[in-house]
Amino acid sequence: MKIAVVGTGYVGLVVGACLAETGHDVICADIDEKKIDDLNNGKIPIYEPGLDTLVEKNLAEGRLTFTTEVEKAVRDSYIIFIAVGTPPDEDGSADLQHVLAVATTIGRSMDGERIVITKSTVPVGTASRVRKAIVKETEYPVHVCSNPEFLKEGAAVDDFMKPDRVVLGVDDPKAGEVLRDLYSPFVRTGNDILLMDVSSAEITKYAANAMLATRISFMNAIAQLCEKAGADVSQVRLGIGSDARIGPSFLFPGVGYGGSCFPKDVKALVRTMNDMGADASILEAVESVNDRQKHLLLDAAVARFGEDLSGRTFAVWGLAFKPNTDDMREAPSLVTIRGLLERGGRVVAHDPVALHEAMRILGDTIEYRDHNYETLDGADALIIHTEWHPYRRPDFLRMRDLLREPVILDGRNLYNPKQMGELGFEYVSVGRRPVTLERV
């Protein structure tokens, strides 16, 4: 089948590469000439495990091509995915200018019937606006469908190739059958293809992300209670997560959610609900808890060392908002680092893959190290933001010898508090009793 994917960002690249892997001829189109040149030379602009191999393989075998000629990609394809960015506007709503611009281009370029799919995360009603933009430019029939993505950064290729479910919002049974056939290779083990109306599919994406964000903020609120009551949030998590009605996923307390999806999707859903007269107070509380949680490690550093951090050095392990990605959008590490710098602190950081992104955002305001232990030499404290595997079982005796003071502020609860006390560390984590040297 001939398929065009307009937009070569995170979603577009994964969609294009995975569809090409199942035998389709896929054209990925973008107006960014440098990005297209890099992709045609096998250079991937994002870090996503397995994606580079998939792109290189299908590019070499001719099933995947990259072009700046969006109009030709539309004419050469029957199915067209819109996968451009929808950044948050100043009021929190999704900015649809790129989506609608692509729709206009599609309408002007069509030379026959097409199926157009909004893959970008868009608010309810967007498909209708896309249809109007296309129909305004053409007399050919078009089916505008919604196919929200549920890709986790760091596991996007596996999520696409082995989805929990495929959600298809369709406006016509014929389009539904075409898309069901398109996705059939990915659900051979029996996972569902859910056909529904377009509006329901659009809401499903936002509702799913908002639910996951709610679980995170809920657990962080419970962690605050545990700290005040002297309880252990890890035990509470096990206690509620073993309930089949609740389950264990997304119940790990931490320093808040970040990335490209949860923050902007919750904001956009709040905006949509308010615009439509629905009560968004639950999600507004989710945002409030998350904003507070991002200051947790900064507050802990100030509580331990004082408001004036001049002359203090802080080692930071982990800059990306989660493991297996270089994405630092809305990362809690940025809140901590900027707060430390504002108070006169020095920051020395490590991340397995996000150093280049940190350099782009923070420049020379902090120092960077290629190895995590190098950050510790003479540091007053270690601050952990991201649960990368190399951080989970480190050499604690080496760490203690390198640190000026044996202080660890752990935003991901990687270590056992009792063990840290026995090793001679001051240890602060999330929702658990802090370990102080006086208690050892």
Q: How far apart are CA 96 and CA 161, in angstroms?
A: 28
Burial of residue 90 (CB within 10 Å: 0-12, 13-18, 19+) is exposed
Q: CB of 318 within 8 A of CB of 388?
A: yes
Q: Is 226 a catalytic residue?
A: no
Of 330, 343, 318, the closest CA to residue 293 belongs to: 330
Report how far residue 81's alpha carbon sits from residue 115's, in angstroms, rounded to the nearest whole number. Answer: 9
Q: Which is the catalytic residue, given 18, 28, 226, 261?
A: 261
Which two three-digit tokens encode residue 208?
Answer: 């799913």
How is the beta sheet containing 313-317 ordered, strand by strand?
A: 367-368, 346-350, 313-317, 381-384, 407-410, 426-428
Tokens of residue 192, six digits:
């569902």
What letter does residue 22 receive in the DSSP assignment?
Answer: T
Tell me the residue ranges of DSSP E strands in 240-312: none
Structure tokens at 216: 């995170």
Sheet harboring 114-118: ordered strands across?
A: 64-67, 25-29, 2-6, 79-82, 114-118, 142-146, 165-169, 192-196
CA–CA separation, 439 vs 229, rounded Å? 18
Catalytic residues, by residue number, are 261
